Structure 1
Amino acid sequence: MGNDVFLYRIRRSPETLDALKSAETRSRGGTLSSDLPEFADFTWISTPGIHYGIDENDEIRLAIRITYVEFSDASLSWDKVSKEWLEVQDTIQEWTTLAQEITTNVAAGAGTTREASAKRRGHMWGVGWHQSMQENTTAASYAPLRETWAKKRLVFSLLGRKERLMMRQRMRELEEDGSLKKVSEVYLKGFGSLVPGPQQAVIDIAELFNIPSFANHRWKGEMTDFTGANAMTITNGGFSNCVHCDNDFCSIVYGAWWVAEQFYRSLQPGQKKERYGYRHNPLFDHKDIKGGEFIWGQYNIGVKFDRCLVNRAEGLVECMWMGSEDAHASLLSLDPGGCTRFGSSIQLTRRGVNAVNAVRRYDEDVMPTRVKGTDMY
């Protein structure tokens, strides 16, 4: 998916980061647009191929892979994306129609930090294990959907008991039939083919501390062979946020972006209640959604998905970065209707790892009662 390799010498620029934070302050904590003068000197990446940002210590701080297009017809860029990737994208897209949205990034710091309280736009979901705020629960998976948008009534409508059970059952099917495990496998495979060293570091750390993978739905507190990144974050709906660093147990993060068709469908045949559905459609791509650039504020560099040039970003875009060390953000974006850009990332979050360790401090017979999986909602 990337035949050409591009190298960038990058170094931290505190002045640029201060300027971006000042711009956020002037906008009262709002997310920024790439049209601002603060981004005039940024290096924007959109050329198909593999891009590595290397610092003064010759370390790779960021990596980007953009689908390589060999055809004049841009809609054929998806021919270069494997069938495996398309399958896991379908799973991720469906998950967002089943799970409850989250208000804080799974990798965010405590609620008092600027990163956790800053404004953001769009929608966000979590997959995997996180620190629970519920009574008598230490670690939990993310909850099934409790409410949905009723388009014709223009109000939020609470789901009935039957509908909630339907959502929970479908989430469990995606867990039980191996769909989430396939997501984990494909992401790790893509991660390893982009930057083998950082990928192996995440695998080794998860094994060393015995952290259950976000796809390990059977975990109840015991030691496990199915380890990996404990959390996946998914975004869409014109998602953007402020410049921030994450609060990760391991700084290395891997993520992927793509565009999907968006449409309404009934929850059940004959019902008025509706929810979004998503599907792959090669007629929609990054060029159709303005903004949403992913930036590394300290390095004056970012991915410009919608660049209207011959070498604009197409199809699948993958990135690796140091989430808790290098400030990053998604800039202001606007979905045009009919399609949306999905973003996703996998990582070892500090609060998730702390929750796993806290569960294991209980006696073995108590552990399962401190863990709440999808089957317990």
Structure 2
Amino acid sequence: MDDFTPEQVARGRELRRAQLPWALGGRIAGLLCTLALGLTPAGAGLVTAAGSVLGGSRTARVLAGAAALVLIGQLLQLPFGAGVRVVRRRYGLVTQGWAGWAVDALRGLGLTLLLGLPVVYGLYALTDRSPHGWWLPAAGFAALLTTTLSFLYPLLIEPVFNRFTPMPEGPLRTALLDLAARDAIRVKEVLVADASRRTTALNAYVSGFGATRRIVAYDTLLSAAEPREVELVVAHELGHVKHRDVLTGTVLGALGAAVAVALMGLLADRSVLLTAAGAADAADPRSLPLLAACAALIGAAAGPLQCAVSRRVETRADRHALELTSDPEQFIAMQRRLAVTNVSDVDPPRLLELLFATHPSATRRIAAARAWRPAPA
């Protein structure tokens, strides 16, 4: 804690305490709403009513019901997202106006519908063919879809929300490419994301596979941090590539998606749940809210485990950055800058860290850097 002033520590804690009710409230409200629709006849009534607007056919009920569930979920999250935004704006972390925020929300909604509706349609095509065994092929398709989206994300999804420009030729770009070369990692390009139109937070990442791999730095990072600190951030991100974290994460995500679908199939086949949901079987479009509720429960239960895995992965990437640069002092300086600029709680309560944190706390990362020693030659 000596690495941060009392004012910096207090500021991070105040932000965490101010935004936690909104962030946690949004999660709880979303889960409760999904359960209320999925485990009562209310969800079945919603699917029937939405489908009747488009003619009442089975396809209409599937697509309109799915769209209605997505829309209700998005609308429910708006006040909570706005609350978090107001808090973060008060701490100087938000630069985007409300109009821009609304446009991003509409983009997210459109993207969810564009990707989700075909998936739901395909799912109910499978349930129509096999009301009890649909989950087996659906699990395979879920794994395939997760893998495909992971590969396409940097090409199709990232450009929807950010503009990317090539980093100009210069010492920093050369240094970043040299880091990748020393790591034997092929990088196609170095890009700058226009994050400053939304936030003052600092970040960088490496995305893509093979020919699509690129280093991406926030313009906020380039304007606020020293060049060597930028190198340390990128060295950490290269650690994810070196240890195949993206590929491993994709494989684990695909496996997790398949397991989740299988569990959904087992739960949705239970007559007591179908009766509560007002559906005849899994092939009945009125079972859609029940499937959504099962998915939400599985996701909530898996959250802490995913966070634990993520923290281990981030710790390994930190160690890789130290091994690649042999510069613990600059690593510590970088962690200080990230924590202070992003107004992080540098030492959060352990329970919150275990449940929700995807990265180790700043104090843990700095302590690990101080304890690090180069491997013997």
TM-score, structure 1 normalization: 0.25
Q: Please identify which structure carries the higher helix content.
A: 2
TM-score, structure 2 normalization: 0.25
Q: Please identify which structure carries the higher strand content.
A: 1
